[in-house]
Structure 1
Amino acid sequence: MCSVNEATNNVLESAMDRLDNDNRQKDSLDLRNDTAVHDALMRNFDISKSKVQRNRQEAIQAATVYLREPFSKIADTINIDQSTDVRIGHVINITENILLNTQKNELEIQSNKGRDFTNYFPMIDRMHWLAEPCRAERTYLPEPARFVIICHTATDESYTQAENVLMLRLLQTFHIESQGWSDIAYNFCVGCDGNVYEGRGWFIQGSHTLNYNKYAMGIAFIGCFVNKLPPQQSLKACKDLINHGIRIGAISPNYQLLAHSQCRPFQSPGDKLVDEIKTWKNFNPEISVRNPAISFED
């Protein structure tokens, strides 16, 4: 039995050896085949690459030749050495007369030369603080203002133009919607930014001081000045505004300067500001609520 088994084992080992040898030969053949395939692919790639490169160069040359001819007809070589008026780009040649219609232009631009600025005073007008239009027909003063009444708005002070514009819009809305007036009460307002803001303006009757409106210009400082003064630039702007009003005939040269509190039982324009305007030209200390400057029948 043992000899039979040994013979069988020998046959099996011989068969395995032949199989291993065949596999090694196959692997060697596969490896050679892979190398051959790789080499063939690379050769073909190099050939294709060179063809693509040649084709690309040929295409560029062909395109250059194709484009050069039509462009040469419209754009020859230009020598600009020692030239003073060289223009690159489209040139429009106008061969007919041109008529400009300016009839519908909204703005007319004029030179400042020769213009009269005598009646000009720098201020922020109604349009630039976005005022609503007056809701009733304006009433004009019958004569140059006999009084200039200084008020305050009893609001927060505003030190920038943007804040003052907002404050004026709120004041106008309050005066129209809550007080029932046709517009902001004052003829002018002065901000802590040093700007004068147009209210109702010159020659227009305001709603700032009962019984005095027909005869007075009402100027309000934006803020509350019980314990402090407006900035010096704002005080100066108010004085300059009054002097300008005299120059244009809106304020009588003999006007009387009054604090709002002298005409009505209000704290306006604040104790500090009252003390300040007492030092101004034409201030009348004799006027009070009990001793008015005009009779109520006027």
Structure 2
Amino acid sequence: MYKIKKLTLLALVLVLGAGCIQKQQTTTVQNPNEYPIAVTTPIPNTQPVYQPTIPVTQPPVYVEPEYVPQRTPYLQGAYGSNNKLKQFITTISQKYNYDRYELNAIFSTVNRDTEALKKYNVFKTAKPTYSKATQIGSWDKYRGNFLTTSRINKGVAFWHENAHYLNKAAQKYGVPPEYIVGIIGVETNFGGYTGTHSVLNALTTLSIEYTKRSKFFTSELENYLLMLRDEKVHPQKIKGSYAGAFGLAQFMPSSFREYAVDFDGDGHINLFNKADAIGSIANYFIGKGKWQPRVPVTMMTYYNKSRFYGLPTGHKT
């Protein structure tokens, strides 16, 4: 140990000495009485100056231009002659002081989403693919589709990469990270698939043609238009599910307007942004789910002679 300390001290002295030598060289005149002050002569810098052979330039910072709404006095597109849509435009224009010409321009871009109509079996050609009363299942079966090794690994990676905002959400809303991570994993496989349908196309199509749930989809379309105006987003930019849900957690437009938050403080709410998605899910838990921090999320219940007591249940889902 003593020898190591001596070597360390010696190395430090040599480094400091070398630094002093590089800074200046001192010479003293022979007659100290005539010249009492030492004369110093700086040593010229002999180090070569670095000259890059290739010019170094910083990549330009891309700032997405703000969307400028278009306007037209005429309603065109797939539903240009649809009276129901024309009445809807009149209602939104009067109710929210929304520019009617701007609404005309928005809906003139709409294409009919036939895939969404097929999903809800509007054409009556097959059994509805979304039916919830025709299949027998259990949590064991459901769990096997999501608790795979691949998805678990993705979840752990997502948790590590976004620990800052997950912890922030836990502190602010009292929702533990594992619940937020679980929601994003189930809904979109941690952003791996958020949907390819134009939300505007899907909502407009279902609002007009899916009469069974027209009221619901008309309300969601209304909220979507207000979201577009608030966030200044191109109406055809947002892609999502055939039902109009979008983002990492698949919020519907009404949920966006009520529960989505700007969690990274950039001045915009973007549910494809991980920080905003995390904060919005936690806020949704509090507002919609009436989340109570530190209260158990499950409890033993009895129903129909303990039918749901164990796994697998075999009940209809």
When Rg is computed on C-alpha atoms for both structures, the one with the higher figure is 1
Q: TM-score band (shorter)? A: under 0.3
Which structure is higher in strand share?
1
Report the TM-score when normalising by structure 2.
Answer: 0.18
Which structure is higher in helix share?
2
